């Protein structure tokens, strides 16, 4: 999942666009309970579509088969808290696992139910880790405490092999600085691949490697790639957990600096009357399309009731209240609305916005 994919999923679809959201069980060894639950949900989809006069029987069958194909693409060994399946006419289907619980439901509409995906995407800390090496430079995707290798988009990057026939010439060139140029060319390949990834999914970047590799990287990358932190040392063959642990201090330092910068931005916005604080005030301005930069504490959730068009926060955890006027989490509603209007969302540590009632907004005007 990346920002481009999420944006595409939130666009309208032909009816019926079907979303299936299902809690899963991390602790279940065989997954039997989850398979039964999913089979029942797909049966509900089939009944609803065949009973819907707006849906032709063939279209209903195609969408159900799309959901079945999506479910088959999920690795059952991947522990998660929820499964999200989407399918629409013309063969479109998607499957996602997310690390936060969802309410079990089937939604048939002219678009996919993406709110839980948006919440999981925006609330989970994300970063890239680039591990430089003479042999194989690898890119890793950091999502919360998990680190997985990103093996596409040109990664991993390996130096061009030296064929035996030219070994003598290569040896002479190396003595004349040719090996250094070969290393720079490999690094140019690394930077080109990295820029393509960042253009699609921009996150903080941590660069790991020995000093000479980092120096060549800085020389080739220039000012176009912003480095959030560095880890010195060779990490050839290091496990994902070892890499994540090595990157943790650099990420913590980056987060500290970023949060200080956010506070300065909020104070500057307050001085020119482009500031709002507190859920009710922020919600009103966001729904008018005026949200430029939303800042919210990562652990802030707030169910609410909509009364005469106004959101009224209530005590309790999301999902407890039921009813047509209930918004499970007004904070996620605000986040999704800011993104709808092309705004930016930044999460900060819990307690960091104590003087802003846990949520604050820089407005466009």
Under a CB-based contact definition with an 8 Å cutoff, are residues 190 and 209 in contact?
no
What count of residues does the chain have? 365
- Residue 288 in domain: yes
Per-residue pLDDT at 145: 81
Q: Does residue 133 sit in the same domain as residue 213?
A: yes
Contact 261, 311 (CB under 8 A): no
In the chain, which ranges are continuous DSSP H helix? Answer: 3-9, 32-51, 57-72, 115-123, 167-175, 178-200, 211-221, 240-271, 279-287, 330-340
* Whether residue 140 is found in the same domain as residue 257: yes
Q: Are residues 171 and 254 in the same domain?
A: yes
What is the per-residue pLDDT for 172?
56
177 and 79 part of one domain:
no
- Given 72, 99, 123, the domain boundary residue is 123
| C-alpha neighbours within 13 Å on the C-beta side of residue 90 | 3
Q: How far is Cα 303 from Cα 318, in angstroms, rounded to an integer?
A: 5
What is the bridge-based pairing of β-strands 275-277 and 359-363? antiparallel
- Is residue 170 a part of any domain in this protein? yes
Strand partners, 66: none
pLDDT value at position 32? Answer: 81
User: Which positions ≥6 away from 130 have C-beta within 8 Å?
Assistant: 137, 138, 139, 140, 190, 194, 205, 206, 207, 208, 209, 217
Predicted local confidence at residue 319, as pLDDT: 54
268 lies in some domain: no
| Domain-embedded: residue 99 | yes
| pTM, rounded to two decimals | 0.74
Q: Are residues 184 and 114 in the same domain?
A: no
DSSP-derived secondary structure letter, 77: T
Q: Judge whether 358 and 296 are in contact, CB under 8 Å.
A: yes
Q: What is the CATH number of the domain that holds 232?
A: 3.30.420
| Residue 332 placed within a domain | yes
**100/169 same-domain check:** no
Report yes or no on 49 lying in a domain.
yes
For 18, the 3-state DSSP assignment is strand
232/251 same-domain check: yes
Last residue of a domain, one of 95, 123, 151: 123
Same domain, 235 and 290: no
How many structural domains compose the chain? 3
Task: Identify the CATH number of the domain in which residue 85 sits.
Answer: 3.30.960.10
Q: What is the mean pLDDT of each run of 10 residues along the chain (365 residues)?
A: 85 94 75 88 95 94 96 77 94 92 89 88 89 95 90 92 58 61 92 93 94 94 89 94 95 92 96 96 95 94 79 66 69 89 91 95 97
DSSP 8-state code for residue 290: -
Give the 3-state secondary structure percentages of the chain, helix then strand then coil, rounded to 5: 45, 25, 35
- Domain finish residue from 86, 103, 123: 123
What's the CA gap between 302 and 280, in Å, rounded?
11
d(CA 322, CA 49): 25
pLDDT tens for 234-260 read 999 899 999 999 999 999 999 999 999
CA pair distance 312, 46, nearest whole angstrom: 37
Looking up tokens 């290798």 gives 149
Domain co-membership, 249 together with 338:
no
Same-domain pairing of 133 and 257:
yes
- The per-residue pLDDT for 29 is 56
CATH number for the domain spanning 291: value is: 3.30.1330.30
Count CB-CB contacts under 10 A for residue 256. Answer: 11
Same domain, 216 and 322: no
Q: Which residues contact 208 (CB under 8 A, 6 or more apart)?
A: 129, 130, 131, 132, 230, 231, 232, 233, 235, 243, 246, 247
Strands (E), 135-175: 138-143, 146-149
Assigned domain for 65 exists: yes
Q: Which domain holds residue 36?
A: 1-123
* 177 shares a domain with 75: no
What is the C-alpha separation between 151 and 157, in angstroms, rounded? 10
Interval 121-145: pLDDT, tens: 888 889 999 999 999 999 999 988 8
Distance CA 231, CA 141 (A): 16
């Amino acid at each position: 999942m990346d920002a481009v994919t999420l944006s595409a999923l939130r666009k309208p679809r032909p009816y019926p666009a079907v979303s299936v959201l299902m809690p899963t069980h991390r602790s279940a060894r065989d997954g039997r309970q989850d398979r039964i639950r999913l089979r029942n949900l797909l049966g509900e989809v089939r009944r609803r579509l065949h009973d819907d006069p707006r849906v032709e029987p063939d279209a209903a069958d195609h969408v159900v088969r799309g959901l079945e194909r999506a479910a088959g693409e999920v690795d059952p060994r991947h522990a998660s808290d929820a499964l999200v399946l989407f399918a629409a006419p013309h063969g479109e289907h998607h499957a996602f696992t997310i690390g936060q619980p969802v309410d079990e439901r089937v939604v048939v509409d002219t678009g996919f139910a993406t709110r839980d995906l948006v919440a999981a995407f925006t609330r989970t800390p994300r970063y890239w880790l680039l591990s430089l090496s003479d042999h194989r430079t690898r890119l890793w995707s950091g999502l919360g405490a998990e680190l997985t290798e990103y093996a596409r988009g040109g990664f991993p990057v390996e130096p061009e092999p030296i064929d035996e026939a030219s070994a003598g010439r290569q040896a002479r060139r190396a003595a004349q600085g040719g090996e250094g140029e070969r290393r720079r060319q490999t690094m140019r390949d690394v930077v080109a691949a990295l820029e393509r990834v960042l253009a699609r999914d921009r996150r903080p970047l941590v660069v790991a490697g020995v000093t000479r590799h980092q120096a060549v990287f800085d020389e080739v990358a220039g000012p176009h790639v912003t480095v959030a932190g560095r880890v010195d040392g060779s990490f050839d063959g290091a496990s994902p957990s070892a890499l994540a642990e090595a990157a943790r201090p650099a990420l913590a330092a980056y987060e500290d600096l970023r949060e200080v910068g956010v506070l300065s931005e909020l104070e500057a916005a307050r001085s020119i009357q482009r500031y709002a604080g507190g859920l009710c005030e922020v919600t009103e301005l966001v729904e008018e399309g005026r949200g430029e930069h939303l800042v919210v504490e990562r652990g802030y959730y707030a169910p609410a009731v909509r009364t005469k068009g106004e959101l009224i926060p209530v005590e309790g955890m999301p999902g407890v209240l039921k009813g047509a006027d209930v918004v499970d989490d007004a904070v996620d509603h605000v986040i999704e609305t800011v993104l709808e209007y092309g705004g930016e969302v930044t999460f900060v540590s819990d307690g960091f916005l104590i003087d802003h009632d846990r949520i604050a907004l820089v407005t466009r005007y």
